[in-house]
Amino acid sequence: MKKTLTAKIIEEHLVSGKIVPGEEIGIKIDQTLTQDATGTMAYLQFEAMGIPRVRTKRSVSYVDHNMLQTGFENADDHRYLQTVAAKYGIVFSRPGNGICHQVHRERFAVPGQTLLGSDSHTPTAGALGMLAIGVGGLDVAVAMGGGPYYLRLPRVVGVRLTGALRPWVSGKDVILELLRRLTVKGGVGKILEYFGDGLRTLRCAERFTITNMGAELGATTSIFPSDEETRGYLAAQGRSGDFRDLSPDEGASYDEILELDLSNLEPLIACPHSPDSVRKVREIAGTHVDQVCIGSCTNSSYEDLMTAAAMLKGKVVHPRLSMTVTPGSKQVYEMIAREGALADLIASGCRILESGCGPCIGMGQAPPSGGVTIRSFNRNFEGRSGTLDAKVYLASPEVCVACALKGEIADPRDVGIEWIRISTPAAYLVRDDLLVHPPADSSGIEVLRGPNIKPLPTRGAIEDRLTGEVLLKVGDNITTDHIMPAGSKVLPLRSNIPAISEYVYERVDPGFSRRAREKGGGVVVGGDNYGQGSSREHAALAPMYLGIKWVLARSFARIHRTNLINFGILPLLFADLKDYENLEQGDVLEITSVRDAVRKAAVQVRNTTRGNEFSAKVELSEREGEVLLAGGLLNYTKQHSLEAV
């Protein structure tokens, strides 16, 4: 059989299971990455496993989310992360060095290897032919300990690219077009593998944007072949030695094929409040704009910022709006500074921010009330910007600049600027001074913990009889930003579960946390694609702390489902979707013989308030069932001493 690139990489890393879609497989992990907002938990969990040093080829700890130091908390976390990295053999990327996905692709991603990261946009590295998957921190901790990563083998969707992008159309428009066609649920249980003639016309910078936002499709990951373009990119990063020629076999057998003619695309924009509410920019041109932000791990590369600077050169942004630019990494920042583009951006009135996630995760730059903001980012969930009633649109840097100049939504083809295309440079500026490598002997290193770092909450084995009140009933596509908000107020509490649990569901129902405490926990009922978006395990860990023992939904998003299991929360599916309608907040539900139900894959749920019963499905692999019954992955890992693969 002709093999896909995905199958080739999986075969090289397979530890257990068969390569059949839907089967659970275990794969060896070569590299891991963490960022500060998920990293503190991941390292506390790693420490709890009692393993002396990481067993991966490469593990990197980044600081990019919690950059605003308005109190001691974030700075303390940074210090903890730096010392714990030195202690356990992890490379530490200091604050200021850049966003994890930008720096990882510049300095570490290797074609053909596997990467597990505690951030949902880890698949960005797939643009270099790496199998890169976003997961919760606990899964990363296990991989750092040398354990395999288990997943149900996704279906591999081949995306055949033909044609070439027209002027002013970019990688962002490719992924927005896929979001328009497939929606935020369309990639669930799938890996998107790009192939075809059109590939040759896409620079690595564009491929990174596409694999990055594959996360918004709900896909497990996205991958490009490692070809001449990849060779050039790695050479320009001074890493020719990491190149490996990798592509699918000619005529590879994909589970499904999607056709995309690049020549047919035009500038697109995702409207509030979902990345799949995609329109043509021209259709909504003229809408007034209050803010424009270029940055985030999606579009803050050297190529992106050089394009923006060239478009803005000699002009000033519209007086009505505020524009920010965030270089994705120190490499990007230093290069645009040395080449003069930074001066052009400053001269045009842009507010330049430090290299990090910044406004993308609500760390500053919240828009005005009801404001319209156009961002080159990847997520526009309600409230994520820090302003609940703001309207966030997502578009390419080119569209962002067009809007900034006109003060209203505008297509870059309509602002009278000559088309600019920045090529991949022959050499990027490589200076790794902000990467701290761990010492070979770390016996003298003391791990420093600040007072905000609270011990990891734990729970015992799952109870056999579960009862609980429906504390909240929500609709479809609930994001982890709904469940566990981020932003400058809440993010500094990521290493303090008792404190952060006060904010669970705060934007949806401010009384949720108090109610959960008063009732001693309960049940949450959800619709389709429950828990989409971020990999933050706090969206499972904090509810667990509040006593949530099960979530009953129509379907779950991949990472959140695993996070629930990892923290001993039972993810139950309605057997008959109509039963969702028959439940109300306040109903008291009960299941008996949970242990039996997990093994039999089905359970009867009794609604004691209404005096009826309905069936639910427990779709867990045997291993997941054991993890759940143990009360979570940490308990399970301690019971089965972790063996490196």
Q: Which residues are catalytic?
A: 64-65, 119, 379, 534, 536
Q: Which of ligand MIC, ligand SF4, none interacts with 296 (beta carbon under 5 to 8 A by kind)? A: ligand SF4
**Under the criterion CB under 6 A, does residue 38 sit at the interface with ligand MIC?**
yes
Site string for ligand SF4, 369-388 (x = CB under 6 A): ---------x----------
Q: Which of 144, 357, 504, 541 binds ligand SF4 (CB under 6 A)?
A: 357
Quote the least distance from Cβ 354 to ligand SF4, whole Å.
Answer: 13
**Under the criterion CB under 6 A, does residue 40 sit at the interface with ligand MIC?**
no
Q: Residue 252 carries which DSSP code?
A: -
- Coil, strand, or helix at residue 70? coil
Per CB under 6 A, which of residues 111..140 are in contact with ligand SF4?
Answer: 119, 121
β-strand pairing of 435-436 with 91-93: antiparallel
**Under the criterion CB under 6 A, does residue 534 sit at the interface with ligand MIC?**
yes
Distance CA 149, CA 152 (A): 10
CA distances from 451 to 66, 71, 76 (A): 17, 12, 8
Any residues with CB less than 8 A from the CB of 197 and at least 6 apart, and which? 161, 162, 163
Quote the least distance from Cβ 599 to ligand SF4, whole Å.
Answer: 37
Candidate ranges 365-373, 531-539, 581-589, 637-645; the one touching ligand MIC (CB under 6 A) = 531-539
Distance CA 137, CA 141 (A): 6
Distance CA 567, CA 501 (A): 14
**Under the criterion CB under 6 A, does residue 42 sit at the interface with ligand SF4?**
no
Quote the least distance from Cβ 120 to ligand SF4, whole Å.
Answer: 7
C-alpha atoms less than 13 angstroms from C-alpha of 150 in its C-beta half-sphere: 19
**Under the criterion CB under 6 A, does residue 486 sit at the interface with ligand MIC?**
yes
Q: Which is nearer to ligand SF4, 332 or 524 (CB)?
A: 332
CA distances from 90 to 241, 442, 616 (A): 22, 11, 43
Amino acid at 606: R
Q: Dump the DSSP string for 455-522.
A: PPP---SPPSSEEEEEEEE--TT-BHHHHS--HHHHGGGTT-HHHHGGGTTTTT-TTHHHHHHHHT-E
Quote the least distance from Cβ 35 to ligand SF4, whole Å.
Answer: 6
Q: Which of ligand SF4, ligand MIC, none interacts with 38 (beta carbon under 5 to 8 A by kind)? A: ligand MIC
Q: Which of ligand SF4, ligand MIC, none interacts with 99 (beta carbon under 5 to 8 A by kind)? A: ligand SF4
Q: Which is nearer to ligand SF4, 220 or 555 (CB)?
A: 220
Q: Which of ligand SF4, ligand MIC, none interacts with 479 (beta carbon under 5 to 8 A by kind)? A: none
Encode 498-524: b = buried (16+ Cβ within 10 Å), e = exposed.
ebbbebbbbbeeeebbebbeeeebbbb
**Under the criterion CB under 6 A, does residue 535 sit at the interface with ligand MIC?**
yes
**Under the criterion CB under 6 A, does residue 121 sit at the interface with ligand MIC?**
yes
Per CB under 6 A, which of residues 49..68 are in contact with ligand SF4?
Answer: 65
Q: Which of ligand MIC, ligand SF4, none interacts with 63 (beta carbon under 5 to 8 A by kind)? A: none
> With contact defined as beta carbons under 8 Å apart, do 357 and 67 qualify?
yes
Q: Dump the DSSP string for 212-223.
A: HHGGGGTBSEEE
Quote the least distance from Cβ 356 to ligand SF4, whole Å.
Answer: 8
**Under the criterion CB under 6 A, does residue 104 sit at the interface with ligand MIC?**
no
Quote the least distance from Cβ 60 to ligand SF4, whole Å.
Answer: 14
Interface with ligand SF4 (CB under 6 A), residue total: 10
**Under the criterion CB under 6 A, does residue 481 sit at the interface with ligand SF4?**
no
**Under the criterion CB under 6 A, does residue 139 sit at the interface with ligand MIC?**
no
- Coil, strand, or helix at residue 418? coil
Encode 98-118: b = buried (16+ Cβ within 10 Å), e = exposed.
bbbbbbbbbbbbbbbbbbbbb
DSSP H helical segments within 33-158, as ranges?
36-49, 72-88, 100-107, 137-144
Sign of CA dihedral 630, 478, 121, 133: positive
Q: Which of 83, 226, 296, 477 binds ligand SF4 (CB under 6 A)?
A: 296
Residue corresponding to tokens 């109870």: 463
Distance CA 217, CA 185 (A): 6
Amino acid at 84: V
What are the residues facing 571 on neighbouring strands?
A: 551
Which is nearest to 191 in space by CA: 226, 155, 166, 245?
155
Distance of CA 369 to the CA centre of its chain: 27
Query: Quick one: the chain helix, strand, coil %, rounded to 5?
Result: 35, 20, 45
Q: Which of 120, 221, 307, 348 binds ligand MIC (CB under 6 A)?
A: 120
Q: Which of 78, 104, 203, 536 binds ligand MIC (CB under 6 A)?
A: 536
Q: Which is nearer to ligand MIC, 6 or 479 (CB)?
A: 479
Q: Which is nearer to ligand SF4, 28 or 101 (CB)?
A: 101
Q: Which is nearer to ligand MIC, 213 or 265 (CB)?
A: 213
DSSP H helical segments within 216-351, as ranges?
228-236, 302-312, 330-338, 341-347
Q: Which is nearer to ligand SF4, 28 or 172 (CB)?
A: 172
CA angle 629, 633, 634 (to 5 degrees): 115
Any residues with CB less than 8 A from the CB of 641 and at least 6 apart, and which? none
Quote the least distance from Cβ 309 to ligand MIC, whole Å.
Answer: 25
Candidate ranges 156-164, 240-248, 274-282, 357-365; the one touching ligand SF4 (CB under 6 A) = 357-365
**Under the criterion CB under 6 A, does residue 361 sit at the interface with ligand MIC?**
yes
Q: Which is nearer to ligand MIC, 324 or 635 (CB)?
A: 324
> With contact defined as beta carbons under 8 Å apart, do 157 and 196 qualify?
no
β-strand pairing of 24-27 with 14-16: antiparallel
Candidate ranges 90-98, 347-355, 356-364, 508-516; the one touching ligand SF4 (CB under 6 A) = 356-364
Quote the least distance from Cβ 134 to ligand MIC, whole Å.
Answer: 6
Q: Which of 33, 210, 297, 325 binds ligand SF4 (CB under 6 A)?
A: 297
Site string for ligand MIC, 49-88 (x = CB under 6 A): ----------------x-----------------------
Candidate ranges 14-22, 78-86, 508-516, 528-536; the one touching ligand MIC (CB under 6 A) = 528-536
Distance CA 202, CA 99 (A): 22
Quote the least distance from Cβ 91 to ligand SF4, whole Å.
Answer: 18
Q: Which of ligand SF4, ligand MIC, none interacts with 535 (beta carbon under 5 to 8 A by kind)? A: ligand MIC
**Under the criterion CB under 6 A, does residue 37 sit at the interface with ligand MIC?**
yes
Applying CB under 6 A, the residues found at the interface with ligand MIC are 37-38, 65, 119-121, 134, 361, 379, 486, 533-536
Applying CB under 6 A, the residues found at the interface with ligand SF4 are 65, 99, 119, 121, 296-297, 357, 360-361, 378
